[in-house]
Structure formats: C-alpha cells, structure tokens
C-alpha cells in the first residue's frame, strides 16, 4: 500500500502577507506524513525589478521573462523567499530543504516555444526526477520548491508554480498516494469573484466546461483548474483549492476537484 503524501502550492498573496505566511507554515508543519511545498514569488520580484529601473512585461496576463527579469526571479524566488520559508519551517520543527528544479536535476523543463509570443526564459516542465525525490522524502526531508527550473543545458527558466505543483504531484503519484492542495487567499473557486460566500463546493469536468462557457471561471483560474484535471487524470488521488485554514480544519469551506 502506498504511503500518503501531500503536495501544497501557496499563492503570492500568502507570500506577501507575513502574518498569513507564518500561520500557514505553522499549519503546514503540523500535517502528518510526507509533504512537499511549492511557492511562487508574490509581488517581491516586481518590486525588486522596479527598484532597479526594470518594467515587468505582461502579455495576456502572462509574464515575459527577459534576461534581467530572470536574474531578479532567481534572486527573489530561489534566494530570498525560498530560504526564508525554509528557515521558518525549521523553526516549526520541519526539516525542509529548498530546491530549484536544477538541484539534483529534480525538475527538467524546456524553454517555451510559442508561435507568436516570445516569453523569454519561461519554462514548461518536461520531466520530474521521481526516484531522487522519493529518496529525499523518505529521508524525512520536506522539499520546498520555488518557481525556477532548468533545461539541463545550463539555462535556468522561470516556471509557473501551479504547474510545478501539478507535475510534482503527478510524478510522485507513481510511488505515493498524493493529495494536491492549492492554497490562496480565497475560500475556494467562486461563482462570483467579488463574493467569498459563493464557493463552488465541487467541480467535475462537465461543470467546469459549463462554468467556462458562462464566463464564471476565467483568467488565471482556468490554467489552475486545467492543471487540476490533468493531475487527476494521471494518478493524483485528491485535489482541493481554498484558504490555507482547510489544512487544519477538515470541515473548512473549499472546492474539491473531481473528474
């Protein structure tokens, strides 16, 4: 029988709020069994870029990562944020180790090839090094991944943290029974983005298609949910989206994703 493992991705709004982050990391540390944490960068990279005279570029809501912005992303994601998170987890009794995808060749990506848009140094995940990751986890090491991967040709790549969490969950489901949680500032996926009481308790594939057609689900929630359904179709056991309080309260309002 496979052992339980929890993969959790935290959104930028948790990273940006020291009080929320401290509470989340305390709750995360109390989760029993094996676990993996994935984090994005919040607003810190944008602030750092602006402080040195760089203007972040976006196309259709997606960040363009040129060489100077990649340097900022690596400094903030793999450096400042990752190491602060690891240090605080250690303070909570969790033996965490921070990783980029380049460390141990744990996450291999390729530079995004789009027919009309040059995203710069943005990576799309190709392969998870499940055997090495399994060994680390079974040594009671809690991996903490930032949103930086590599192409094994010496190039670091800025990579969507939601996708990293999904691909890690898929890869690890070969050897563990995996639950994937996406934690952010909202209580779940909402019918109305302005109404926190409009949580959709359960979303399956037919309902997802209907909600997209109606425009109730749009923008950044679409790639997040696409990742969820892809994960479920490839072996992940359970997926929840919601506020991090769902980690310590099984009855907390959240959204469960089902095929």
Q: Report the binding-site residues.
A: 41-42, 63, 158
Contact 221, 231 (CB under 8 A): no
CA–CA distance, 230 with 167 (Å, rounded to integer): 9
201 three-class SS: coil
DSSP secondary structure string for all residues of 109-165: EEE---SS---BSEEEEEEE-HHHHHHHHHTT-EEEE-SEEE-SSS-EEEE-HHHHH
Task: Name the binding residues for substrate.
Answer: 41-42, 63, 158
Burial track 96-127 (b if 16+ CB lie within 10 A, e otherwise): bebbbbbbeebbbbbebeeeeeebbbbbbbee
DSSP secondary structure string for all residues of 52-71: TT---EEETTEEEB-HHHHH
CA–CA distance, 11 with 182 (Å, rounded to integer): 8
């Amino acid at each position: 029988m496979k052992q339980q493992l929890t993969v959790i991705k935290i959104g930028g709004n948790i990273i940006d709020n020291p009080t929320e982050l401290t509470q989340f990391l305390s709750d995360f540390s109390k989760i029993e069994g094996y676990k993996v944490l994935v984090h994005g960068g919040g607003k810190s990279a944008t602030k750092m870029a602006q402080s040195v005279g760089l203007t972040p570029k976006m196309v259709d809501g997606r960040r363009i990562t040129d060489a100077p912005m990649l340097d900022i992303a690596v400094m903030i994601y793999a450096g400042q944020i990752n190491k602060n998170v690891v240090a605080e987890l250690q303070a909570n009794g969790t033996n965490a180790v921070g990783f980029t995808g380049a460390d141990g060749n744990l996450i291999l990506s390729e530079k995004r090839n789009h027919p009309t848009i040059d995203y710069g140094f943005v990576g799309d995940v190709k392969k998870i090094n499940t055997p090495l990751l399994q060994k680390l986890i079974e040594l009671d090491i809690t991996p903490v991944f930032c949103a930086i991967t590599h192409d094994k040709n010496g190039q670091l790549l800025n990579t969507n943290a939601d996708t990293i969490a999904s691909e890690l969950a898929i890869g690890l489901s070969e050897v563990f029974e995996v639950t994937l949680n996406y934690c952010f500032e909202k209580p779940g996926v909402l019918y109305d983005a302005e109404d926190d009481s409009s949580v959709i308790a359960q979303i399956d594939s037919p309902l997802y298609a209907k909600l997209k057609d109606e425009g109730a689900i749009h923008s950044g929630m679409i790639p997040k949910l696409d990742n969820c359904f892809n994960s479920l179709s490839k072996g992940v056991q359970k997926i929840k989206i919601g506020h991090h309080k769902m980690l310590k309260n099984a009855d907390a309002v959240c959204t469960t994703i089902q095929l």
